[in-house]
């Protein structure tokens, strides 16, 4: 067995979600031995009721047949162009037709004239996170990223892979990251000798914080970013999983300032999670060595080609089919927007959200001196907080919830970057992330199971806090 001396490699801590996933089978067995039903309030997965692929596969095949017929091939032995392109190598930008369709539909929804040539396909939003981090880490200089406290665990995990990168986190209030502290952290990072390229956030349906940034707060943060010469990396998985009325929805950062934003789109929530469709979009420019000013996406495409040289054209073409609707004559036309697709998902998520919020209010509304919870305007999560130190939500607490109550939730403490835990060693140790998106059942059984899960959760937190 080889024994390699690798002194520069540091073992990264396992995330709380990964630890939970690894320990869950044993905890499930223990709960079942105790005669308990497992209640799923932990997973942030798209619900199977809205990700049944059968109708999509029929739609996709009909779209492919329509495109083939539109080609008007006379030779019956000729391979249709769409099939040849779908099952061949494609370049780093993927099929042009897919980018063109996405640019028009997505741009129409958010009032942005998207240039398809500035769209870079990624392996979901996670691929976009990896790409933008790699772009700024490549030169080897110490680099600091601004992010929220708490922040998405996938972002902290990716930053942890780079020895010369670290996160400077910004605390949040009920409207979003605090602007004054945002500026202070930028100055602190620079004073510590770090290059600070961007601020990463999930402003809509924040994962894990369970709320959305206000419009006013977005404008304040954007103003600071402009003044300090910082990009905003906007992770937008829940942009369409939105429960607010259309007139009340805040603008995404890329609609407010595409030249200041790196926008990360994923099709996992609006479409299907398996194909891992994503796009990075930005109109920002960077000044590189020698003083040359170049589009950020030009550098990002070079970076992407070293990672994913050939995109998956079949997955991108499938997403392209989703962006088209079939009219009464059988022709496929480009959708005017993606909100009709979102509504198919929101029928389930909106109902689940209401079950969660109604049950929490019914069971715990008389104990708001001990408990509070966020009202999600988008996304899959609410953050539940124990007030007045009535519980410590460490690993033992989480395991006890499963073993003694059958309730699966995710603790919040590991979502806080290291510097946030220095500022407050108890950060997140009074909070739980409660998910309302996933269950193994559908229809009436889903409603019944979620209600039972929230009731079991309420009973558990009351007992654990002495109420």
Query: How do the domains of the chain map onto residue ranges?
Result: 16-42+340-464, 89-322
Mention every residue, 6+ apart, whose C-beta is less than 8 A from residue 380.
44, 205, 207, 238, 241, 349, 435, 436, 437, 438
CA distances to 86, 147, 217, 407 from 251, rounded to whole Å, are 35, 19, 11, 36
- pLDDT, one tens digit per residue, over 304-362 is 988 787 888 999 999 999 999 999 888 999 999 999 999 999 999 999 999 999 999 99
Tens of pLDDT along the chain (467 residues) come to 444 454 555 555 555 555 655 665 666 676 677 788 888 899 888 999 999 999 999 999 999 999 999 888 777 788 888 888 888 888 889 999 999 999 999 999 999 999 999 999 999 999 999 999 999 999 999 999 999 999 999 999 999 999 999 999 999 999 999 999 999 999 999 999 999 999 999 999 999 999 999 999 999 999 999 999 999 999 999 999 999 999 999 999 999 999 999 999 999 999 989 899 999 999 999 998 888 999 999 999 999 988 787 888 999 999 999 999 999 888 999 999 999 999 999 999 999 999 999 999 999 999 999 999 999 999 999 999 999 888 999 999 999 999 899 999 999 999 999 999 999 999 999 999 999 999 889 999 999 999 999 999 999 999 999 87
The topology under which CATH files domain 16-42+340-464 is: 3.90.1150
pTM over 0.85: yes
Domain 89-322 listed as CATH 3.50.30.40: no
Taking the C-alpha atoms of residue 219 and residue 253, their distance in angstroms, rounded to an integer, is 9
pLDDT at 77: 83
Q: How many CB atoms lie within 10 A of CB 1?
A: 2
CB under 8 Å to 242, separation ≥6 — which residues? Answer: 204, 205, 249, 342, 346, 377, 378
């Amino acid at each position: 067995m080889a024994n390699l001396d690798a002194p520069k490699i540091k073992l990264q801590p396992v995330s709380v979600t990964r630890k939970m996933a690894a320990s869950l089978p044993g905890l499930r067995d223990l709960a079942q031995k105790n005669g308990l039903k497992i209640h799923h309030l932990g997973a942030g997965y798209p619900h199977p009721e809205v990700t049944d692929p059968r109708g999509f596969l029929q739609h996709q095949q009909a779209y492919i047949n329509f495109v083939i017929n539109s080609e008007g091939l006379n030779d019956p032995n000729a391979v249709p162009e769409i099939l040849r392109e779908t099952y061949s190598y494609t370049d780093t930008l993927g099929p042009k037709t897919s980018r063109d369709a996405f640019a028009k539909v997505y741009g129409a929804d958010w009032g942005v004239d998207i240039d398809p040539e500035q769209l870079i396909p990624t392996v979901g939003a996670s691929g976009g996170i990896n790409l933008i981090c790699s772009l700024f880490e490549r030169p080897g200089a110490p680099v600091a990223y601004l992010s929220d406290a708490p922040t998405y665990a996938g972002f902290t995990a990716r930053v942890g892979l780079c020895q010369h990168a670290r996160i400077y986190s910004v605390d949040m209030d009920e409207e979003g990251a605090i602007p004054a502290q945002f500026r202070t952290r930028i100055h602190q990072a620079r004073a510590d000798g770090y290059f600070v390229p961007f601020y990463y956030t999930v402003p809509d349906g924040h994962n894990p914080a369970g709320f959305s940034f206000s419009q006013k707060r977005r404008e304040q943060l954007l103003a600071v970013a402009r003044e300090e010469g910082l990009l905003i990396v906007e992770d937008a998985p829940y942009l369409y999983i939105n429960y607010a009325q259309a007139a009340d929805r805040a603008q995404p950062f890329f609609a407010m300032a595409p030249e200041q934003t790196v926008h990360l789109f994923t099709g996992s929530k609006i479409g299907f999670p398996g194909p891992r469709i994503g796009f990075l979009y930005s109109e920002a420019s960077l000044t590189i060595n020698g003083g040359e000013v170049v589009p950020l996406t030009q550098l990002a495409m070079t970076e992407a080609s070293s990672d994913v040289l050939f995109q998956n054209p079949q997955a991108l073409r499938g997403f392209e089919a989703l962006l088209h609707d079939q009219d009464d004559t059988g022709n496929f036309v480009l959708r005017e927007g993606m909100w009709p697709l979102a509504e198919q998902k929101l029928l389930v998520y909106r109902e689940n959200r209401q079950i969660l919020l109604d049950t929490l209010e019914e069971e715990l509304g008389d104990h708001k001196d001990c408990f509070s919870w966020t009202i999600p305007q988008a996304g899959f999560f609410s953050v539940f907080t124990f007030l007045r130190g009535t519980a410590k939500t460490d690993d033992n607490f989480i395991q006890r919830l499963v073993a003694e109550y059958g309730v699966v939730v995710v603790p919040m403490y590991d979502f806080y970057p290291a510097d946030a835990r220095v500022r407050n060693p108890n950060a997140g140790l009074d909070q739980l992330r409660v998910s309302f998106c996933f269950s193994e059942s559908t229809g009436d059984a889903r409603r019944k199971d979620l209600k039972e899960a929230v009731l079991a959760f309420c009973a558990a937190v009351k007992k654990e806090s002495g109420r």
